[in-house]
Amino acid sequence: MRTISIPSLADLPAAAAQVRAALGGHTIVCFEGEMGAGKTTFIKALCRELGVADEVSSPTFALVNEYRTAADVPVYHFDFYRLDEPAEAEGIGAWEYFDSGYLCLIEWPGRVAPLLPDHRLTVTLTVTGASSRQLKIED
């Protein structure tokens, strides 16, 4: 496990660079944290670090957004907060995304836990102050 301190929003790019470096061969990255912990905000910073020029926003109602990196490689961003059961994610073809070999950034992964592959990275954001967070990366 690795812990990164994020004292302010200005420190997000450096933290995102550290998470990018920690990806290794992982294509599934699960983001844990309470409502308002900054999961979407951190994913925006990570996507910028990956060279995504598109607007990055929470796919709360669409369930999945697709972005493209500077190398024109897809990045999939999921928000499963509104799901009642994993079958709803199966209905949008979650398996195909997870097996695609492309980066899948998943908010609220607990809602689809039975569908997630074992080989994944978990990033947990914890609120430590008004604009500070602690980030933990676990294999």
User: What is the pTM (predicted TM-score) of this model?
Assistant: 0.95
Q: What is the pLDDT of residue 64?
A: 94
Q: Could you count the other beta carbons within 10 Å of the beta carbon of residue 3?
A: 11
CA 28 from chain centre, in angstroms, equals 8
- Quote the Cα angle for 120-124-126, to 5°: 180
pLDDT of 62 > 90? The answer is no
Contact 80, 107 (CB under 8 A): yes
Task: Determine the residue type at 137.
Answer: I
Cα 75 to Cα 44: distance, rounded to the nearest angstrom? 12
Top pLDDT among 1 and 18 is at 18
State the pLDDT confidence band at 59, using cuts at 50, 70 and 90.
Answer: confident
Q: How far apart are the first and last CA of the chain?
A: 7
